[in-house]
Amino acid sequence: MTSPVLLLVESNTTGTGRQFARRAADLGAEPVLLTADASRYPYAAEDRLRVVTTDTSDEDAVLAAARSVGERSRIAGVTSSSEYYAATAAATAHRLGLPGPDADAVRTCRDKSEQRRMLAEAGVPVPEFTRVRDAREAVGAAERIGYPVVLKPVLGSGSLGVRLCTDPATTKAHATELTAASVNERGLPVSRGVLVERYLPGAEYSVEVFGNTVVVVVAKHLGPLPDFVEHGHDLPAEPTSDARAQLEDVAVRAVKALGLGWGAAHVELRRHGDDTRVIEVNPRLAGGMIPDLVSRALGVDLVRAQVSAAMGLGHDGEQRGPARAAAIRFLTAERPGVLAGPDTWAAALAAARSTARVEAAELYRAAGEQVAPAHDFRGRLGHVIAVADTVPDAAEAASAGLVELGAALRGTDKGTE
């Protein structure tokens, strides 16, 4: 008897994409990748995944491809590790009578202005916001809300296009850039709408939710404004017990208000004083290697839980063993430059991996490659993960490992850690 099949509609290019396929195999299913362009995913060839080429921007085409696979194999589930295709995967699963989130809820959640509207109507605290159509409206909205403001595309992920604007000139320039785009980095059509929202000071957190249950609260470290690049995460976050309870309560209320509650949700929040507000809810697992940190620190495999739920096997989010702490720090460049040569590159990676309490270190770019400052997640050059008994110890170890990894940027005339 042939193995059941888990259909993966496209994939993350980094992070959990490969893990989804591997967890499917661990659970006894053959992962089959539905994609418009398999060359985006080198791991697919390396792991010898079965690939079906189809127009993944068209839900009917995805359904037809799924049914074609189903003529020869039993389809156990349909899912996606990519936020861009989460609604398509959910709609396909529904039309095949398979488990998954509500596709309409996922679509609404992905539209940041609709998400804000629904949350506000449900009494979930969010920043003051306005959706605009062009640069003129953006400047008007910013002046009504009050500077500084944050501009972001209505549809987006990974802090792409998110920028702090402090005056009419920067608002006009960024809104013009955002409204000029007709497709995103995946080549998918995008709305020309722009969200203008009040900038919230304070500490940033994410709450990882599975179903309607909180898994962990994560402290987030951002790089310099006006960009919102995540430079690191610590978990479990260590605010006061009252603050943690409020973060968890607001996150779960947000998930419920949006009609989610199936599988993973990544809820981003800011807390200033006693005020906690939702930045956005993402109907997916967290990026930034957070599932890896959760697994290392808490023994909870969120990728396996998501895949298992998609296959109708239920999920086990129980903690395995004693809780520890984990931290990740990302390598970025402060100015344009070139990564060091092969010997220095390899030595920096080895030194980072040998740092006390460091469990993983990676460089995403090749020796000698041109690099530039990060304006979103795509500009990150590598990472270091550390695990310890306490958050301060894990954070200190990850930072120490990052110093070693930064040697891959030092020693050039243009690069810096």
Residue numbers annotated as active site: 284
Nearest to 295 by CA among 303, 286, 284, 285: 303
Q: Count Cα atoms within 13 angstroms, Cβ side, for 322.
A: 5
Give CA–CA dist 316/307, Å, rounded: 11
Residue 285's identity, in one-letter code, is L
- Tell me the three state secondary structure of residue 56: coil
Tokens standing for 409?
Answer: 């940027």
Whether omega before 236 lies within 30 degrees of 0, making that bond cis, reads: yes
Q: Count Cα atoms within 13 angstroms, Cβ side, for 158.
A: 21
Non-local CB neighbours of 37 within 8 Å, separated by 6+ positions: 53
Phi/psi for 222 (5° steps) reads: -105, 155
CA distances from 50 to 56, 185, 382 (A): 16, 25, 29
250: left (phi over 0), alpha (psi -120 to 50) or beta: alpha
CA distances from 263 to 15, 295, 302, 309 (A): 18, 16, 9, 7
